[in-house]
Amino acid sequence: MTIFADASALIAIITGESDADILANTLEANDARLCSAVSVWETMAGLRRSYSFSVAEARSQVELFLDAGGFRFVNIGEREWEIAAEAFATYGKGRHPAALNMGDCFAYACARSYQAKLLYKGDDFGQTDLV
């Protein structure tokens, strides 16, 4: 199976949050692990903002994790933009209880476009049609 990792899951694993083992095991159970430039940037920014990593430290931790996990970057193009726009219209902040933000909409789009399961933390994606 193929899985796309949202920034929320990547941050939880990298920082050893309480559900890190469960999320890491889910990643390991999949043959193909995907990420995008948006999800990786959001992970780096989240580590900087919420965990006080320096930008260099956050970037290094993310790169090491992705390399060790054998992640493949997927492209975000016109198809993904269209899916993300539709996700925002349907599930976006202020429109739906899922309250997807920009990064969430692109994670949703990548999972949908690349026919991958979505690894995430929280309740937002559970309120969409991806589950």
**For residues 55-78, average pLDDT:** 98
Task: Return all residues near 28 (Cβ < 8 A) that are at least 6 apart.
Answer: none
Higher pLDDT, 3 or 130: 3
User: DSSP letter at 125?
Assistant: G
pTM assigned to the model: 0.94
**Position 71: which residue type?**
F
Which tokens in the block code for residue 21?
């083992």
Burial group, residue 104, by CB count within 10 angstroms (0-12, 13-18, 19+): buried
Specify the pLDDT at position 114: 98
8-64: pLDDT as tens digits: 999 999 999 999 999 999 999 999 999 999 999 999 999 999 999 999 999 999 999
For residue 94, is pLDDT > 90?
Answer: no
Specify the pLDDT at position 131: 67
Alpha-carbon span 124 to 101, nearest angstrom: 10
Q: Where do the H-state alpha helices sit in the chain?
A: 7-15, 20-28, 37-51, 55-69, 78-91, 102-113
Specify the pLDDT at position 21: 98
Residue 104 confidence class, pLDDT cut points 50, 70, 90: very high
Burial group, residue 42, by CB count within 10 angstroms (0-12, 13-18, 19+): buried
Specify the pLDDT at position 95: 85
Domain 2-119 matching CATH 3.40.50.1010: the answer reads: yes
Mean of all residue pLDDT scores within the chain: 97
